[in-house]
Chain A
Amino acid sequence: MSQKVTRRQFLNYSLMGVGSFMAAGIILPMGRFAVDPLFQGEAEGAMITTSIKVDEITEEPTKVDFSFEQQDGWYKSEVTDFAWVYKDGDKLIALSPVCKHLGCTVTWAGDDANPNRFFCPCHNGLYEKNGKNVPGTPPRGPLDQYEVGKSDGFITIGELKPNELVN
């Protein structure tokens, strides 16, 4: 015997169905907004992916360009900078090219007499490969270091930090 649904039951069911959809429509977005900060946490990581592959890096410091957005007052601009990246065994090392003396840009092996050192053309400053300033030349401290990592085989560059390789 088929069970009959009365008009009153049918109306009740349909009201409950429609009502729950409406409630869900309000509560779900609210809930998503409330927990949003949990999902966001790491999305804005400071690491910038470059276009240089990890395999291309050797023990010889290589120039790795990276660009980021810089806000200057109201004005946002894209800035391109670079780091000297090399491998020490399996470890990647990235050094800042900014001379610690007065801020010129240093080059690897820029001076013919010092083929295995960083050279600052402004006042003939010299740094060892690990960024240590050579005594007797103008710089008073070692080159700064960048956080460095890899993502999908490409080099990533992060925050600037004081040199940790030099004691």
Chain B
Amino acid sequence: MLYNHQDLNVLKDEIEFVDTAVIPFAYGDMNEDPKMHASDMEMMQMITVHLEKQFKGRLFITPAVVTVNGITAVVEDYSEQLRNYGFKKIIILSHNVPQVEGTHGIQLNHIPLEDMSADMKMSLIDDEVKDTMKQIIAVWNNKK
């Protein structure tokens, strides 16, 4: 499910089944290697699109949360909100996973996508997606 009108309507009724929220969390700093953050963000976008396709009925992908200077307060508040909405599991998908209580972090790899041919890019992203899917399934199977 995505953060749009249509999916939110379904979400309200099916919160029992859509029990996992994924927060894509990225850095948008301009002073420290913005190019790296930009390519990280692009990669994260592609991964979330694939994830949504595979696990549409159980994942809610929130709008991406962007921060600067490593401030994590907004993710903390957001995960609190999501928990109150009814999500049982909250996953933070990021290249720089923050420590937030009660959430699961999935660490993505830095991949310099800009230097690659389209085919190579696709296959690397595919691998990363598979890896992320495995970690999400592990979170689901680990009944806590």
Please, which residues of chain B bring their CB within 8 A of the CB of A123?
Answer: 17, 57-58
| B58–A102 CB distance below 8 A | yes
Question: Are A138 and B53 also in contact (CB < 8 A) when A102-B10, A121-B137 are?
Answer: no
A92 to B54, CA, bound (A): 25
Q: What 0/1 pattern do residues 97 to 111 of A give for CB contact below 8 A with B?
A: 001011111000000
Question: Which size class do A's interface residues fall under?
Answer: 10 to 19
Give the nearest-CB partner of B10 in chain A.
Answer: A102
Instruction: Give bound CA distance, A105 to B137, whole Å.
Output: 14
The reply to whether B55 and A101 form a contact with Cβ atoms under 8 Å apart is no
Closest Cβ of chain B: how far from A112's Cβ, in Å? 13
Q: Is B17's CB under 8 angstroms from A103's CB?
A: no
Q: Is B18 located at the chain interface by the 8 A CB criterion?
A: yes
For window 6-54 of chain B, which residues contact chain A by CB distance below 8 Å?
10, 14, 17-18, 53-54
Chain A hits for B88, CB < 8 A: none
Q: How large is the interface on B (under 10, 10 to 19, 20 to 34, 35 or more residues)?
A: 10 to 19
**Residue contact B54 to A104, C-beta cutoff 8 Å:** yes
Evaluate contact between A104 and B58: CB separation under 8 angstroms. Answer: yes
Q: How far is the CA of A138 from the CA of B18 in the complex (A)?
A: 13
B18 touches A105 (CB 8 A): no
A120 surroundings in chain B (CB, below 8 A): 57
The minimal Cβ–Cβ distance linking B31 to chain A, given in whole angstroms, is: 34
B56 at the interface (CB under 8 A from A): yes
Contact A138–B137 (Cβ < 8 Å): no
Q: Which of the listed residues B1, B53, B54, B57 has the most CB atoms from chain A within 10 Å of its own CB?
A: B57
The complex places the Cα of A103 from the Cα of B17 at a distance, in Å, of 12
Q: Is A122 an interface position by the 8 A CB rule?
A: yes
**Residues 46 to 90 of chain B near chain A (Cβ within 8 Å):** 53-58
Q: Which of B10, B18, B56 has the most CB of A within 10 A?
A: B56
Question: In the bound complex, do residue A122 and residue B58 qualify as a contact, i.e. CB atoms below 8 Å apart?
Answer: yes
Query: Which of B10, B54, B137 has the most CB atoms of chain A within a 10 A radius of its CB?
Result: B54
List 18 additional contacts besides A102-B56, A104-B57, A105-B53; criterion CB under 8 Å: A101-B17, A102-B17, A102-B18, A102-B58, A104-B54, A104-B56, A104-B58, A105-B54, A105-B55, A105-B56, A120-B57, A121-B54, A121-B55, A122-B17, A122-B56, A122-B57, A123-B17, A123-B57
Measured CB to CB, the residues of B under 8 A from A are 1, 10, 14, 17-18, 53-58, 137
A-B contact pairs, 25 of them (CB 8 A): A99-B57, A101-B17, A102-B10, A102-B14, A102-B17, A102-B18, A102-B56, A102-B57, A103-B56, A103-B57, A104-B56, A104-B57, A105-B53, A105-B54, A105-B55, A105-B56, A120-B57, A121-B55, A122-B17, A122-B55, A122-B56, A123-B17, A123-B57, A123-B58, A138-B17
